[in-house]
Structure 1
Amino acid sequence: MKIYISQLDEFSKLEHIVKEFNVGLEIVTFANAMVLDSKEQYTSELRGYINKVSNVSFHGPFSDLVPGTNDPEIRRVVNKRFTQAFNIAREFNSQRIIYHSGCIPHTYWEKQWVENSKAFWKGFAKDKLDLMEIHIENVFDEDYPLIADIIDEVNHPNFSACLDIGHVNTCSTKSIEHWIKGLNNRIGHVHLHNNEGVLDNHQGLNKGNINMIKTLELLKGYCPEATWALEVFDIKELQESLQFLKSNCFF
């Protein structure tokens, strides 16, 4: 099992955790699209510590970026921002990049949104999937079929879902088990954190109302090849979560 921790704090505070647990790092610096306009400043800083990490993953930009939009000008901007992030991830030999689905329920007719999304992702990913894995992450999505439809349409082994279990717990009325069984081996990457089902507050694995042991066993059973990334804000809870995974033989 390949495990990453998300770069949700300064690397100086995470470096000892990366070494102690021998995990990869998921870079979130470029999840803010505005950072892409000051690329050199941030890539220079990143080069200062990236050689201390064995495995790297990147989180792409997401705020206000909706691949399924009807507006061709917005699609142009989405493509630009996603491509900028992809190219930076390539510079750092990232093995994967994660983008949000951009789905906000009830703002589009579902069929229209999924058809727009299929067209966007087929165009965006066609010359990239032999270079890096691309994962679509659920956020506000109510159910998995829209993401599943997009993945099936693109139909490439390096194009898959990033299942965020904390987002399911706060934003979907469907169970995490329902999502895991439905997406099945379409899941290539997983974001792990816990909450009480109200706020997306990225707590440690042993804090919140998600039955974590059951969830992790389901993930192992239905998508055993998927990589996992811990998205936990608090450093102490992050360490406790890694120890939780080790103590329960998940890595």
Structure 2
Amino acid sequence: MASQSKIGVSTGFFNFADLDDFIQGVKEFDVDYIEFKADPPCFFPLNLDDKKIELIKNKLSSCGIKPIVHSTIYDVNLASLNPTIREASVKTTLDCLQLAKRLGAEILVIHGGNLPSNYSLKFMEEAKSNLILSLEELIQVADKEEITIGLENHAKGFNIGMIKNVEDHLFFLKKINSRFLKAVFDIGHANLYGVSIEDYTRKIKDFLVEIHLHNNEGKKDNHWPLDQGNIDVEGFLELIDELDISVPLILEMISLKDYEKSLSFLRKKDLIKV
């Protein structure tokens, strides 16, 4: 059975692509969303004047595509133990929130930050407290601007992420307890931690605002097409249909060819509406 959710693609691995060319290429895929990752050089708040924003909005409108903004990833750490870095990370994220507002996006995706791996785990509570402080500051503005912040679970990496499992995810969502803070569930990232994707989905479903789809073998954050790797994507989409979850499904792959391949897989399996 085809999912009721709308489908989209991310610019995440296209930092140096021409946005007009990317949007035009995506138009042929007949998707509902483009998620723009706000990192330099081509889609960064400080590099986008009102004229450029208006051009992007008009292009999206002509293609029938809605925008989502993914806040800056690189050099940002909302849980940083260094107050200067944490405050700069909040400011950068707020710049992205205003960019989302200007673009007409309703969702801003963020990462929760990390604790550097050479720190003792006894500092984890301080890092968590810093992330809570950052989220509280962000939500004050999100509430005013009516932008929903989607807190995403981390990929497993060198440093220790704040959100490694559904319990971590729910902790921050419930601590902030705001209708403008929701969950973005990345199934590829969850797979790297070896957690049950079904269990994660069932527990997080009431907080979901978006889902990220890509595949891997549980060892590296490959962002492979959906028909590669060991994640049962077909089973996952059947699960969200069973649970009546209807949120944007955003594909995160490294090439337009991989997007085309993944969309073809979904349509052949009748997992999304054509």
Q: Same fold (TM over 0.5)?
A: yes
| 2:61 corresponds to which of 38, 45, 51 | 51
Which of 48, 68, 81 lines up with 1:39 in the alignment? 48
* Structure 2 spans left out of the alignment, 5+ residues: 157-162
Distance 2:85 2:22 in 1: 37
CA offset at residue 47 of structure 1? 5.3
Distance in 1 (CA, whole Å) between partners of 2:92 and 2:28 is: 32
1:86 maps to what in 2? 97
Matched, 1:148 2:159: no
1:1-251 matches, within 5 Å, as 1-7=5-11, 8-9=13-14, 10=17, 11-28=20-37, 30-32=38-40, 35-40=44-49, 43=53, 46=56, 49-53=59-63, 54-104=65-115, 107=119, 108=121, 109-129=123-143, 131-139=146-154, 140=156, 141-170=163-192, 172-222=193-243, 224-247=245-268, 248-251=270-273
Cα deviation code 1:192-223 (max 9, x no counterpart): 01112222121111111111111222233446
CA deviations over 1:136-173 (Å, ceiling 9, x no partner): 11113432222211111222233111111111222x13
Between 126-135 and 197-206, report the one with greater CA deviation: 126-135
Asked whether the 8 Å contact 1:230–1:238 carries over to 2, the reply is yes
- How far residue 112 of structure 1 moved from its aligned partner, in angstroms, is 2.9
Question: In terms of mean alpha carbon deviation, does 6-15 or 54-63 score higher?
Answer: 6-15
- TM-score, length-scaled by structure 1: 0.86
Question: Compared with structure 1, are the counterparts of its residues 52 and 27 closer, same or farther at alpha carbon in structure 2 (3 Å cutoff)?
Answer: farther
Contact 1:135 1:160 in 2 (8 A): yes
**Aligned partners of 1:146, 1:125: CA distance in 2, in Å?**
19
Paired with 1:173 and 1:227, the residues of 2 have a C-alpha distance of 24
Q: How many residues align?
A: 249
| SS of residue matched to 2:230 | coil
> What secondary structure sits across from 2:253 in the alignment?
coil
Distance 1:169 1:19, change over 3 A: same
Q: Residues 22-56 of structure 1: CA distance to partner in whole angstroms, max 9, x if unpaired? A: 4211112x134994443339747745733334311
Residues 166-200 of structure 1: per-residue CA shift (max 9 Å, x gap): 11222x13222232233232222111011122221
Q: Considering only aligned residues, what root-mean-square deviation do their CA atoms show, in Å?
A: 2.6
Q: Compute the TM-score of the two structures, normalised by the length of structure 2.
A: 0.80
* Identical-residue share of aligned pairs (%): 21
Between 1:118-127 and 1:200-209, the stretch displaced more is 118-127
Between the aligned partners of 1:24 and 1:32, the Cα distance in structure 2 is 21
Structure 1 residue 241, shift from structure 2 partner: 1.4
- TM superposition shift of 1:232: 1.4
Q: Which moved more, 1:153-162 or 1:42-51?
A: 42-51
